[in-house]
Amino acid sequence: MLVENDFEVKKLTSFKIGGVVRRVIFPESVDEFIASLESCPEAFVFGNMSNVLVSSDGFDGTLILTTKMKNYNIKENLVKAECGIKGPKLSQIVAEKGLSGLEFMIAFPGSIGGEVFMNAGAHGQSVQDVFVEGDFFDKTARQVVTLTKKDMNFSYRTSVCQKQELIVLNATFELEEKDVDLIKVKMQENLQFRHSHQPSLALPNCGSVFRNPEGNSAGRLLESVGVKSFKIGGAKVWEGHANFIINENKATSTDVLELMLKMQSEVREKYNIELMPEVRYLGNNSRKEEDICKILYQSLKKMQK
Ligand SMILES: Cc1cc2nc3c(=O)[nH]c(=O)nc-3n(C[C@H](O)[C@H](O)[C@H](O)COP(=O)(O)OP(=O)(O)OC[C@H]3O[C@@H](n4cnc5c(N)ncnc54)[C@H](O)[C@@H]3O)c2cc1C
């Protein structure tokens, strides 16, 4: 199993931000993954690192990255995929087989594990629409459990994995047989929408920074308080969409957190609405960042209790 010490993680994050991580483990199979979770229970698990801001001061601990676990199998209209395979890849594979339901995954760079954890969604589809069951490592009980859709408590960008220590090993999705060309048209439409409404990864970013508050749109609220083009250090709110921060010029994690804090406070002041970050944060070295996170993530913690 590949293990890297003192690994510069910004090579792998979609934000292209993140300092040195003491140890990174890359399991290549579910068995290796379970073995690393058992031998290093304090490790944090990530997939494609497209929804995380890692501190530029690094992280003095262990990460397990799932990106080398890419096996899948398809039986009739069921696809079972290991947690590390990328959503865009899996959506293309099933499309070629005439299976519909994962067209939304073409449009953003998550892994299956990260997408189940987040109940990722876009373009009117989400993980919860197609998820049937999955195998999980329960870190508390230290055993593998199988959970079905009803166990998952899926809701907007949330699953049971965020409340209990459940690590996604694999997931099975039930898809619908459809004409290959129709599926591809839908995927193309999704990609075109992205190109016209969101920054590409040529402008490193982490997707939506804040969750939509119930019945409202974080992007619209942020736009109405005029945050577009706000800039701190190398981090900037994208001109095309107020809920995206781009790493324009060697941004640090502190630049991004300060910008998030400013965005959050502008909306709080005008609307008395507390925006909750969608992007996760990892770091343990900077007092300043910890202080900002206490304010930024306060409402998220309240929600998760
Ligand atoms: C350009 C861009 C566009 C995006 N658009 C969308 C969008 O339209 N819709 C959307 O929902 N998201 C979007 N995202 C955000 C992101 O891609 C999703 O949240 C995705 O689900 C994250 O997957 P990941 O593998 O990158 O997760 P990571 O960033 O690696 O991790 C995110 C969280 O998932 C947890 N996690 C990862 N793997 C596992 C596992 N195997 N078991 C348990 N927990 C795990 C991590 O601990 C972490 O808390 C976008 C991101 C970018 C960069």
CATH number of the domain to which 107 belongs:
3.30.465.10
Residue 169 covered by a domain: yes
Cα 114 to averaged position of ligand 1 atoms, centre (Å)? 4
Residue nearest to atom 4 of ligand 1 (CA): 207
- Whether 80 and 17 share a structural domain: no
CATH of the domain at 32: 3.30.43.10
Q: What is the pLDDT of residue 51?
A: 96
Cα 256 to averaged position of ligand 1 atoms, centre (Å)? 18
Residue 111 covered by a domain: yes
pLDDT digits (tens, 9 = 90+) for 115-124: 999 999 999 9
Residue 292 covered by a domain: yes
Question: 16 in the Ramachandran plot: left (φ > 0), alpha (ψ -120 to 50) or beta?
Answer: left
Alpha-carbon span 177 to 180, nearest angstrom: 9
CB 52 near ligand 1, within 6 Å: yes
| pTM of the complete model | 0.95
Marked catalytic residue, from 14, 103, 157, 253 = 157
β-partners of residue 281 are 53
**Beta carbons within 10 angstroms of residue 212's beta carbon:** 18
Alpha-carbon span 282 to 289, nearest angstrom: 10
- Whether 191 and 99 share a structural domain: yes
Short-list 64, 79, 62, 80, CA closest to 32 = 64
Residue 200 alpha carbon, nearest atom of ligand 1: 1
Residue 204 covered by a domain: no
Short-list 21, 37, 41, CA closest to 29 = 37
Cα 50 to averaged position of ligand 1 atoms, centre (Å)? 5
Beta strands 235-237 and 2-8 are unpaired
What is the widest separation between alpha-carbon atoms in the chain? 55
Q: What is the pLDDT of residue 301?
A: 54
β-partners of residue 237 are 245
- Whether 49 and 79 share a structural domain: no
CATH of the domain at 282: 3.90.78.10
**Among 33, 65, 97, residue at a domain's last position:** 65
- Whether 161 and 85 share a structural domain: yes
Alpha-carbon span 191 to 197, nearest angstrom: 10
pLDDT digits (tens, 9 = 90+) for 204-240: 999 999 999 999 999 999 999 999 989 999 999 999 9
Q: Using H for helix, E for strand and C for coil, what is the string for the chain?
A: CEEEEEEEHHHCCCCCCCCEEEEEEECCCHHHHHHHHHHCCCCEEECCCCCEEECCCCEEEEEEECCCCCCEEEECCEEEEECCCEHHHHHHHHHHCCEECCHHHHHCCCEHHHHHHHCCEECCEEHHHHEEEEEEEECCCCEEEEEEHHHHCCECCECHHHCCCEEEEEEEEECEECCHHHHHHHHHHHHHHHHHHCCCCCCCCCCCCECCCCCCCHHHHHHHCCCCCCEECCEEECCCCCCCEEECCCCCHHHHHHHHHHHHHHHHHHHCCCCCECCEEECCCCHHHHHHHHHHCHHHHHHHC
- Whether 58 and 84 share a structural domain: no
Residue from 26, 108, 279, 301 to probe ligand 1 pocket by mutation (most atoms less than 8 Å from CB): 108
Q: What is the pLDDT of residue 256?
A: 98
Which residue segment(s) compose the domain that 179 sits in? 72-196
Number of domains in the chain: 3
Residue 95 covered by a domain: yes
- Whether 178 and 96 share a structural domain: yes
- Whether 77 and 182 share a structural domain: yes
β-partners of residue 111 are 86
Alpha-carbon span 249 to 17, nearest angstrom: 11
The ranges of the chain with pLDDT < 70 are 299-305
- Whether 240 and 261 share a structural domain: yes
pLDDT digits (tens, 9 = 90+) for 278-288: 999 999 878 99
Residue nearest to atom 34 of ligand 1 (CA): 114
Residue 224 covered by a domain: yes
Residue 27 covered by a domain: yes
Is 280 among the catalytic positions? no
Q: What is the pLDDT of residue 304?
A: 43
Alpha-carbon span 24 to 144, nearest angstrom: 22
Residue 101 covered by a domain: yes
- Whether 89 and 179 share a structural domain: yes
Sign of CA dihedral 11, 17, 22, 25: negative
Which residue type occupies 140? Answer: T
Q: Note the Cα 53 to chain centre separation in Å.
A: 10
Marked catalytic residue, from 126, 208, 286, 299 = 208
CB 15 near ligand 1, within 6 Å: no
- Whether 191 and 86 share a structural domain: yes
**Among 148, 164, 196, residue at a domain's last position:** 196
- Whether 78 and 191 share a structural domain: yes
Q: Note the Cα 164 to chain centre separation in Å.
A: 17
- Whether 76 and 61 share a structural domain: no
